[in-house]
């Protein structure tokens, strides 16, 4: 995702630090990408954006011995764009406030196209005044919506992924059925996209699926992570907040099938391969 934001991040003359040493100039060739631990980077910046893979990565990069939190100056802000766990976002917020700093959980949606075009949807949780202050930075790569207190941004992203997963499954099954029924699948998609079957999932991924383009805007293995966090949140909730999500459970099982088949690094639109295998293709 960060690599797809490269043209936009060139607008920011701020230092960056890449966890992967093979990406030394990932962001802005005019600004230094420093071989520094997050702690040292945080000491140089008023606002630190993080985007990594999993909650365990977030915990390490924030709370580790050389993590961001240990280097933040008073009134600095850490903004985590990772899709992570709401409880972890609340922990980071509390720890930041304990140091006289701020934290915002701000996961994004929109895939590689949204990142490239600066049209990501950004879901922000934390102090509303801080989110408002950060809005000019958010607007460089998308549109921010303030969702509420710390952790609400992450909860919104989980709900987003539940919705996206169901949309991708519907798109996959519709295309598999249309092909089995002898329809031209491109013609099928053009016929239905203007009706109730139309969706952002169809606009972003429909043509890619037909062309067998499964390059990742978001990894299938990350969808398993996100849907799994939804299950965690439900199981940890109070009785009156527990909800049954049969569609999310099914989607998690199917995306897990992609990972088990060695396709976890494909894009989420590769879900159609699981539906095809179920149907003997």
Q: Mapping DSSP to helix (H, G, I), strand (E, B) and coil, where does residue 53 land?
A: coil
Contact 221, 265 (CB under 8 A): yes
How would you write the pLDDT of the chain (281 residues) with one tens digit per residue?
A: 554 445 445 445 555 555 555 554 444 555 555 567 899 999 999 999 999 999 999 999 999 999 999 999 999 999 999 999 999 999 999 999 999 999 999 999 988 788 888 999 999 999 999 999 999 999 999 999 999 999 999 999 999 999 999 999 999 999 999 999 999 999 999 999 999 999 989 999 999 999 999 998 889 999 999 998 887 666 565 555 667 889 999 999 999 999 999 999 999 999 999 999 999 98
In this prediction, residue 69 carries a pLDDT of 96
In this prediction, residue 242 carries a pLDDT of 66
Q: What are the structure tokens assigned to 85, written together?
A: 């766990």
Q: Mapping DSSP to helix (H, G, I), strand (E, B) and coil, where does residue 247 land?
A: helix
Q: Where do the domains of the chain lie?
A: 3-150, 155-278
Q: What is the DSSP string of 24-69?
A: TTSS-TTS-B----HHHHHHH-SEEEE--SSHHHHHHHHHSTT-HH
Catalytic residue positions, numbered: 157
At residue 97, φ and ψ (nearest 5 deg) are -65, -35
Handedness of CA 203, 209, 210, 211 (dihedral sign): positive
Tokens 């990406």 belong to 23
In this prediction, residue 216 carries a pLDDT of 85
What's the fold here for domain 155-278? Answer: 1.10.1040
In this prediction, residue 230 carries a pLDDT of 80
Tokens 């958010």 belong to 138
In this prediction, residue 241 carries a pLDDT of 60
Length of the chain: 281
Domain 3-150 part of CATH 1.10.1040.10? no
Distance CA 185, CA 199 (A): 16
In this prediction, residue 16 carries a pLDDT of 53
Q: What are the structure tokens assigned to 232, written together?
A: 């965690």
């Amino acid at each position: 995702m960060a690599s797809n934001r490269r043209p936009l991040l060139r607008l920011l003359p701020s230092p960056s630090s890449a966890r992967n040493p093979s990406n030394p100039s990932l962001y802005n060739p005019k600004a230094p990408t420093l071989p520094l631990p997050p702690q040292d980077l945080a000491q140089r910046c008023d606002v630190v954006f993080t985007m990594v893979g999993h909650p365990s990565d977030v915990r390490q990069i924030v709370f580790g011995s050389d993590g961001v939190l240990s280097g933040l100056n008073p009134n600095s802000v850490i903004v985590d764009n990772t899709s992570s766990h709401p409880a972890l976002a609340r922990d980071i917020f509390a720890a930041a406030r304990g140091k006289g700093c701020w934290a915002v959980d701000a996961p994004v949606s929109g895939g590689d196209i949204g990142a490239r075009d600066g049209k990501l949807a950004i879901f922000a949780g934390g102090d509303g005044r801080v989110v408002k202050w950060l809005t000019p930075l958010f607007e460089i790569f998308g549109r921010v919506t303030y969702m509420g207190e710390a952790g609400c941004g992450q909860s919104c992203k989980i709900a987003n992924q539940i919705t996206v997963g169901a949309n991708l499954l519907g798109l996959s099954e519709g295309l598999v059925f249309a092909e089995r029924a002898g329809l031209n699948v491109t013609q099928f998609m053009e016929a239905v996209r203007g009706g109730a079957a139309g969706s952002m999932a169809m606009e972003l991924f429909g043509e890619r699926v037909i062309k067998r383009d499964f390059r990742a805007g978001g990894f299938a293995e990350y969808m398993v992570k996100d849907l799994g966090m939804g299950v965690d949140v439900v199981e940890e909730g109070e009785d009156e907040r527990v909800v049954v999500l049969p569609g999310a459970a099914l989607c998690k099982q199917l995306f897990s099938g992609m990972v088990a088949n060695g396709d976890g690094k494909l894009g989420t639109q590769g879900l159609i391969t699981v539906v095809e295998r179920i149907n003997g293709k």
